[in-house]
Amino acid sequence: MSVPPPFAMLAEVTHRCPMRCVYCSNPLALEPASRELDTDTWRRVLSEAADLGVLQVHFSGGEPMARKDLVALIDHAAREGLYTNLITSAVLLDEERMARLADAGLEHVQISFQDTDAAEGERIGGLADAHRRKLAAAGYVTRAGLPLTVNAVVQRYNASRVAAFIDLAVELGAGRLEVANVQYYGWGLLNRAALMPTREQLDQMTAVVEAARERLAGILTIDYVIPDYYARMPKACMGGWARQFLNVDPAGRVLPCHAATTIPGMMFETVHDRNLADIWQHSAAFNRFRGTAWMPEPCASCEYREVDWGGCRCQALALTGDAAATDPVCHKSPHHREILAMAEAEGLSATGTFVYRGLRERAEVRRVCKPLEARRHV
Amino acid sequence: MTGRVLVDEATRLRFAPHVRFKFDERRERWVVLAPERMLVPDEIAVEVLQRCTGEARVVDIVDEFTTKFEAPREEIASDVIAVLQDLADKGVLVP
Mean pLDDT confidence for B11-21:
95
Mean pLDDT confidence for A141-167:
97
Residues of chain A positioned with their CB less than 8 A from the CB of B38:
7-8, 55-56
Backbone φ and ψ for A24, nearest 5 degrees, come out as -55, 140
| Alpha carbon of B37: minimum distance to chain A alpha carbons (Å) | 9
pLDDT tens digits along A270-282: 999 999 999 999 9
Confidence (pLDDT) at A377: 38
Confidence (pLDDT) at B2: 65
Q: Do A166 and A193 touch, CB atoms closer than 8 A?
A: no
* Cis ω before A298 (30° cut-off from 0): yes
Cβ within 8 Å, pair B2-A219: yes
Those residues whose C-beta lies under 8 Å from the C-beta of residue A239, and which sit 6 or more positions away, are A245, A309
Residues of chain B positioned with their CB less than 8 A from the CB of A173:
1
Residue at A76: amino acid letter: H
Residues of chain A positioned with their CB less than 8 A from the CB of B18:
107-108, 146-147
**Rounded distance, CA A249 to CA A261, Å?**
10
**Rounded distance, CA A274 to CA A288, Å?**
18
Confidence (pLDDT) at A366: 59
- B interface test, pick of A48, A56, A141 with most B CB neighbours within 10 Å: A56
Confidence (pLDDT) at A371: 45
Would an 8 Å CB–CB cutoff place A108 in contact with chain B? Answer: yes
Helix (H, G, I), strand (E, B) or coil at A300: coil
Is the model's pLDDT at A85 over the cut of 50? yes
Cβ within 8 Å, pair B3-A110: no
Helix (H, G, I), strand (E, B) or coil at B38: strand
Cβ within 8 Å, pair B38-A55: yes
Residue A353 binned pLDDT confidence (cut-offs 50, 70, 90): confident
What percent of chain A has a predicted confidence (pLDDT) above 90?
90
| Alpha carbon of A306: minimum distance to chain B alpha carbons (Å) | 19
Residue A352 binned pLDDT confidence (cut-offs 50, 70, 90): low
Residue B3 binned pLDDT confidence (cut-offs 50, 70, 90): confident
Q: Which of A320, A304, A335, A332 is nearest to A376 (CA)?
A: A320
Residue B86 binned pLDDT confidence (cut-offs 50, 70, 90): very high
Would an 8 Å CB–CB cutoff place A26 in contact with chain B? Answer: no
Q: Which of A102, A121, A112, A106 is nearest to A61 (CA)?
A: A112
| Alpha carbon of B56: minimum distance to chain A alpha carbons (Å) | 21
Considering only the beta carbons, identify the residue of A85, A146, A218 that sits closest to B36. A85
Is the model's pLDDT at A372 over the cut of 70? no
Considering only the beta carbons, identify the residue of B3, B27, B90 that sits closest to A53. B27
Is the model's pLDDT at A363 over the cut of 90? no
Confidence (pLDDT) at A208: 98
Q: Is the pTM of this model over 0.95?
A: no
- Interface size A-B, in CB pairs within 8 Å, comes to 60
Cβ within 8 Å, pair A110-B18: no
ipTM score of complex: 0.91
Residue B88 binned pLDDT confidence (cut-offs 50, 70, 90): very high
Helix (H, G, I), strand (E, B) or coil at A378: coil
Backbone φ and ψ for A351, nearest 5 degrees, come out as -60, 120
Is the model's pLDDT at A1 over the cut of 70? no
Confidence (pLDDT) at A182: 96
Q: Which of B90, B71, B76 is nearest to B32 (CA)?
A: B90
Is the model's pLDDT at A148 over the cut of 50? yes
Would an 8 Å CB–CB cutoff place B28 in contact with chain A? Answer: no
Is the model's pLDDT at A373 over the cut of 50? no
**Rounded distance, CA A222 to CA A212, Å?**
8
Q: Which of A343, A348, A329, A17 is nearest to A192 (CA)?
A: A343
Mean pLDDT confidence for B49-70:
94
Helix (H, G, I), strand (E, B) or coil at A272: coil
pLDDT tens digits along A95-131: 999 999 999 999 999 999 999 999 999 999 999 999 9
Is the model's pLDDT at A200 over the cut of 80? yes
Confidence (pLDDT) at A243: 96
Residue at B3: amino acid letter: G
Considering only the beta carbons, identify the residue of B5, B17, B33 that sits closest to A218. B5
Cβ within 8 Å, pair B35-A107: yes
| Alpha carbon of A57: minimum distance to chain B alpha carbons (Å) | 9
- What chain A residue is nearest to B28 in terms of C-alpha separation? A53
